[in-house]
Structure 1
Amino acid sequence: MQQSMTHDPEHSGWELVHGYGPKVHILDNLYLLTALAKLSGMKIRHPEMTATLRRVYQIMLANVAGHDLPRLRTEEPTRMQELHPHEGVYRGDVLDPATRIVIVDIIRAGIVPSQVCFEMLTAVLPDENVRLDHLNMARRSDAEGHVTGVDLSGSKIGGTVDGAVLLLPDPMGATGSTTLRAIQHYREHHGRPARVIAMPMIATPEYLKAVLGAFDDLVVYTARLDRGLSPADVLARCPGERWSEERGLNEHGYIVPGAGGMGEVLNNAWC
């Protein structure tokens, strides 16, 4: 069934209109939608899949940085200053170089997205203020294949997250259990971040309800909102308008239309 999204040219221009509240940003970007349609399709080959995923997260990180990371007013001489001593100076905003950012790689599907975010942020911020952590996590299911929780079997965490921005670029925002477990682990063992930004490339209404209800300091950026199992009359309404009736997960906790199990697909390892 065809999903309906609301494009409002009078809106901010970079995100879709919805009813999920101000902490949710559904990016209004046709390139991202096209890339995700290709990425989740049946015919894409593995090298192309990885390259497409990298492009998706490059765009998503640029949006997060541009709209949600601290900024600083600066004056930076350019190479034109020699000819124009006063005018050859950039005077404007940049990312605040004092911002501390911790990116969380949630193995397996989060390996490539987290590396992309790390590379992009270390290109423009001081190396010492950007860190890449790793969590080894996997869904836990019952005998019928229903998701019952998340196992955290190991981690490589480089220190405290007190006062830092915590980025979670885990591609599939399905049940929310992985995001919740990751944040809980940091809060219990590594401090309290100043802000938590979840970055699933595809999210469901169920995911949004789960994560927003658990943490006040969390915001979500996503490239696509999937609610494909919702009734037709619900799909015809603005996303979030009838949130309680929206459904994007099947009985096994997979997103519909979704993209399948990205951890398995990206690593070509079905285990």
Structure 2
Amino acid sequence: MSLQLRVHVPPHPLIQHWLGVARDASTPPPIFKSAMKELGRWLTYEAIRDWLPTEEIMVQTPLAPCSATMVNPDVPLVVVPILRAGLALLDGAQSLLPLASIYHLGLVRNEETLEVSCYLNKLPERLNPQTRVLITDPMLATGGSIMMAIAELTQRGIDPALTRIISVVAAPPALQKLGANYPNLTVYTAMIDEGLNSKGYIVPGLGDAGDRSFGT
């Protein structure tokens, strides 16, 4: 059976609302960052709906014993924010996954050549192959940064089938690269935009998410 990249655009009204706030060029940095946090929260909610491992246990209610379904704490969970902009989504994701380990990955794109380089890598040398990984990267544009991130993770033993990406907007070039190289990945995004301009920015997009989040 052939594999195909799974891309989900959840039809949640709050995701669409906060996407609209983030797209608006007149939105000031504090509100933009709040919008990104909310997008991180709701996209993570959608991404982990059928993804978190669970176990059946017995609990004692005030009246009687009862079976309960709980998240299994023995299966490792990791969130990897792609710096800088991925930090804006991290707050929302971490509110739903408070016990997940956070490993920062700093990637920067040369605006002239569009080549990506790594300036910070906090990933361990090896990771449990059963680890579930959530990557926060608001913009999937040319695909350079996310491809480097996945390569770093797979080198450390991570299974792409257990990896999910949340982004605010995605463009076809990045999705095509991911699909060609890692077809068993899953992506959750608020919107798939039409394409890129000559500088590699997503159109209509939302501008530079890192600059807008931190007022730089």
Higher fraction of strand: 2
Give the Å deviation of 1:60: 1.0
Cα 1:202–1:46, aligned 2, differ >3 Å: closer, same or farther?
same
Partner amino acid, structure 2, of 1:97: P
CA contact under 8 A between 2:37 and 2:90: conserved in structure 1? no
CA 1:94–1:25 in 2, change beyond 3 Å: closer, same or farther? Answer: farther
Structure 2 partner of 1:165? 132
Letter in 1 for 2:184: D
Cα offsets for 1:171-222 (capped at 9, x unmatched) = 111111111001112233x223361111111112222111121114311111
What is residue 73 of structure 2 aligned with on the other side? 97
Question: What does residue range 53-92 of structure 1 map to in structure 2 within 5 Å?
Answer: 53-77=36-60, 81-82=61-62, 84-86=63-65, 89=66, 91-92=67-68
Q: Is 1:116 paired with 2:99?
A: no
Work out whether 1:41 is the aligned partner of 2:12: no
- Equivalent residue of 1:168, what SS? strand
Q: Distance in 1 between matches of 2:95 and 2:101?
A: 10
Which of residues 9, 22, 29 is equivalent to 2:12? 29
Is the counterpart of residue 183 in structure 1 residue 183 in structure 2?
Answer: no
Distance 2:179 2:70 in 1: 29
Q: How many residues matched?
A: 212
1:140 aligns with 2:140: no
> Could you tell me the TM-score, scaled by structure 1's length?
0.72
SS at match of 1:223: strand
Contact 2:140 2:170 in 1 (8 A): yes
Scaled by the length of structure 2, what TM-score is found?
0.88
Cα displacement (A) at 1:106 = 1.1
Aligned residues with identical type, % of pairs:
24
Listed as ranges, the gaps of 5+ residues in structure 1 are: 1-20, 228-247
Cα gap change, 1:23 to 1:92, in 2 (>3 Å) = farther
Alpha-carbon distance between aligned partners in 2 of 1:94 and 1:226, rounded to the nearest angstrom = 37
Task: Return structure 1 stretches of 4+ with deviation > 6 angstroms.
Answer: none
- The equivalent of 1:3 in structure 2 is none
Match of 1:260 among 192, 200, 207: 207
Q: Which residue of 1 aligns with 2:167?
A: 200
* CA RMSD, Structure 1 to Structure 2 (Å): 2.1
3-state DSSP class of the match of 2:42?
helix
The structure whose RCO (Cα within 8 Å, separation 6+) is larger is 2
